[in-house]
A and B are shown apart, each in its own frame.
Chain A
């Protein structure tokens, strides 16, 4: 999955067949990252895109030496990578500043760790603070600063160690839109103006436009387990215009990649297909709530039943992170189809969008029982048992074999949302049991006992 063009420059970091498993408390091992080859070359901004929970942060941690791959190796200038020899720094989504240290002390701390004398430390820290536009804030504490200012401190702390590769894990996600835009531009300015000694920047993001705005190279990950679905260069000059045809085309292209059924795009690349594990996957339901699905279908119906993906994102003011699961869910349920970046409502979807509340429930129930494996399983088990109820543990056990612990929580949470809406079952939070519900539309048997 390396660059098709053999690059002239020697990569700084070279990851070879890195793979990551996590041990679950119940003894299962979950593969989070399938074997991946990846190089970080100098002179580039590389962005790593992918849906949330797909393993972007895990991969970043492996590339920085924070975490060891379960198999495969990571080389730093040809030597095995350790957290001591890596010339890297990380900017975190949560800033990860130390609230009890002043801005200056926060920036000085990495230098202290390297044993830089006090005067020199002070000078270098002040210079960097000046570069990122924080002069005058040296003695402030992080909690006195706005989010954007805090992230500037994060930048300053990273740059002060003069890293060869600057890693960023969703650095702009915790900021509001305008602040993020502003900070992105300043980062570009520093980078293009060669005002930092950094050779290469590696940014993890789930924001497609952000990737197209910044990147010289885009890597798109697919999930469960993570594998590289696409890896291509962007040759647009900076500053990039969001409205330019090429920009829109690229955004569309990435949307398309991210919504393709998994194997379709991987096929042309022989190497990728060979690497991808071929075992049958358990169906993963996208984390969308029923309300979101209904809203999307209504909007589609309004706009004549068909719309470009990225137009939808614009109209709804949502980024891919939030929109994609809703679209995937609609497709899974048979309410919509996706083709070449177009979302098209189906006949079922139209019926749903136009129905009243009670009919919607019935339609959703049919769709869910037709298409969603976990809900089918729950339904059949509940009907089979004499007391028509079962502990949630049962489904945790099923899911545990296929997903990591967080993901099991999310899968269960979403299945609960759908299943309760569709009145397939009720969930009793106190006893943690699922109980067969009496769905709407079916008359109650006349002999049914009075419920307490």
Chain B
């Protein structure tokens, strides 16, 4: 009975298995060819704009047709900053991991840089870059890229460094005993081992980058054509339709990046997991399958990648032979490092002296003003954290304890969180000012908008991580109501809550720079705070005050991190960790 059936099927199956791969293979190729053309056109357009003269007051068109172009510009800035960050992170992490002497100060430096609110540099960087390329759009564009770079590079660098440090000893020894050269180590051990960490940190970094980008694009005299300025213009004119379209475009761009970049990358990076056995559920991506099926890609790998790789293999194999024979090269390298170190030290020394000179030139009232501003912002940031925790803890726990609710709420929250808070600031600001609350209260709303998600997501994760048997034990022993919160839920979510609060605190300081001071419809709205001071000093071109406020802000944030958050984090790590 069965046999004829199978035979009857066979030719058809064979045809299917041959035909589609042929026809599908040409479709991807066609698409990719067109994409290449589009890319080329884009580069030419961008070059014309960026190398063109600087427009101090860029006209932002609110037409629907302009939206894709603006989205493209925003995306380009993100992409450039990301590539720059990746390169820098690789180099920084590599040096820190392999040069013990450099490591001693590179890692603490990373820690400080990571906790400084980047947006506090926004005014300074923009002014400097505009001055560096006078009369060219390129200056402010690079300024934006540089700023995004500073916002996203540190955690990537640290991730790469930490990965390199944790490569298993025997794996390294295998590489040594089999005489891997520098290139082979990088390509076959170091990069693969670090990939998973780099991918996750890249995703975090790029999400953060949108936040900084929006702030840059909306920044006073230096605003840039992009989604951020589009939304700002729309809000300025009270144009609800454009506001709506802008936000939809924003969400669409983020979803597309997720689908076309992150998902394929995550699916691809699966093979770099250090697991001993294959996991059962493996992330997949249509786009990745599509690329893998493309004949053009396959041909490119065969004709270009593989021969190139082979060349590199031979080149470096010879190099390492040569190096083994003459061990003299080390001396030059050592001197090179000494010179680099000396130059860096000199530059730092000069900068410190300059800063001290500027700071001593400030008046007592300036310092008092800075102190008051810092205190006001500090209160606001911490009030925001408390408010955020107050609403997110019950909601997050409810979501985390209820899988059905989680299925609905989590994607919604993710989309809401993916819209960078700075993108909607102009809109929220507009509403707040219409309501007549003023920025003192309004800035707290803005801070909350920018930071509550970190807390919410961590609380949800924490609630989900509480083991079911603990929950059941609690109910068996009749632990209910407040007791249940005190004995089970709060200790359970504590480490997660602390992590969320730390991230939120960093975010809140950043937001405060743009939330305390706003140009809207020709008026300046502001409230007391260090963020407002920084923005006002920029507007007034008072560079000394700008510098002093920025440094003071950075100092306070770093100190708070050290004294408060790091201790809480340790406590959470050691005491409240639910070990499985």
Contact = CB atoms under 8 A, between A and B. Distances in A.
A90 B170 CA distance: 10
A447 to B, nearest CB: 34
A66 B271 contact: no
Give the most central of A66, A88, A98: most B CB within 10 Å.
Answer: A98
Interface stretch (A106-114, A220-228, A344-352): A106-114
Nearest to B184: A113
Contact of A99 (B178, B184, B273, B324): B273
Interface in B348-362: none
A82 B271 CA distance: 34
B168 interface: yes
A90 B176 CA distance: 10
A188 to B, nearest CB: 23
Interface string A47-88: 000000000000001001010000000000000001110001
A101 B276 CA distance: 13
B179 A110 contact: yes
Interface string B308-340: 001001100110110010000000000000000
A96 interface: yes
B173 interface: yes
A143 B273 CA distance: 10
B188 A118 contact: no
Q: When A and B form their complex, which 8 residue pairs have the shortest distance between CB atoms, in order from nearest?
A: A115-B317, A110-B178, A96-B170, A96-B174, A100-B192, A84-B324, A92-B170, A113-B179
B575 interface: yes
B178 A113 contact: yes
A88 B310 CA distance: 25
25 contacts: A66-B173, A88-B177, A89-B178, A90-B177, A92-B170, A93-B170, A96-B173, A99-B274, A100-B192, A101-B188, A109-B188, A110-B178, A112-B317, A113-B180, A114-B179, A114-B317, A115-B317, A115-B318, A115-B321, A118-B310, A143-B275, A143-B277, A144-B278, A161-B178, A430-B574
Interface residues of A, number: 31
A92 B173 contact: yes
Contacts of A287: none
A259 interface: no
Give the most central of A88, A89, A96: most B CB within 10 Å.
Answer: A96
Interface in A327-371: none
A64 B271 CA distance: 31
Interface string A110-143: 1011110110000000000000000000000101
Contacts of A101: 188
B66 interface: no
Given A109-B180, A115-B321, 7 more contacts: A83-B177, A89-B178, A94-B168, A94-B170, A96-B173, A99-B273, A110-B179
B168 A96 contact: yes
Nearest to B312: A112
Nearest to A98: B188
B189 interface: yes
Chain B contact surface mostly: helix
Nearest to A94: B170
A229 interface: no
Contact of A157 (B178, B188, B189, B275): B178
A203 B170 CA distance: 16
Interface of A: 61, 64, 66, 82-84, 88-90, 92-94, 96, 98-101, 109-110, 112-115, 117-118, 141, 143-144, 157, 161, 430
Contacts of B318: 115
B260 interface: no
Nearest to B185: A113
B200 interface: no
B561 interface: no
A207 to B, nearest CB: 19
A423 B314 CA distance: 66
Give the most central of B178, B189, B272, B274: most A CB within 10 Å.
Answer: B178
Interface in B168-211: 168, 170-171, 173-174, 176-181, 184, 188-189, 192
Interface residues of B, number: 33
Nearest to B314: A115
A144 B177 CA distance: 25
A94 B310 CA distance: 30
B345 to A, nearest CB: 28
Given A99-B275, A115-B318, A430-B575, A92 B184 contact: no
A83 B179 CA distance: 8
A383 B324 CA distance: 62
Contacts of B310: 118
A117 B314 CA distance: 8
Contact of A90 (B173, B184, B278): B173
B181 A113 contact: yes
B413 to A, nearest CB: 34
A68 to B, nearest CB: 12
Contacts of B272: 99-100
B509 to A, nearest CB: 32
Contacts of B277: 143
Contacts of B275: 99, 143
Contact of A143 (B173, B176, B276, B313): B276
B330 to A, nearest CB: 14
Contacts of A98: 171, 188-189, 192
Interface in B250-303: 271-278
B174 to A, nearest CB: 4
Nearest to A93: B170
A100 B271 contact: yes
A138 B276 CA distance: 18
B174 A90 contact: yes
A296 B192 CA distance: 48
A61 B314 CA distance: 28
Contact of A115 (B174, B189, B276, B313): B313
Contacts of B170: 92-94, 96
A103 to B, nearest CB: 14
Contacts of A110: 178-179
A90 B169 CA distance: 13
B523 to A, nearest CB: 56
A99 to B, nearest CB: 6
A109 B178 contact: yes
A93 B278 CA distance: 20
Contacts of B274: 99
Contacts of A141: 271
Nearest to A167: B177
Nearest to B273: A99
A270 to B, nearest CB: 36
Contacts of A161: 178
B184 A109 contact: yes
Give the most central of A100, A114, A430: most B CB within 10 Å.
Answer: A100
A117 B276 CA distance: 31
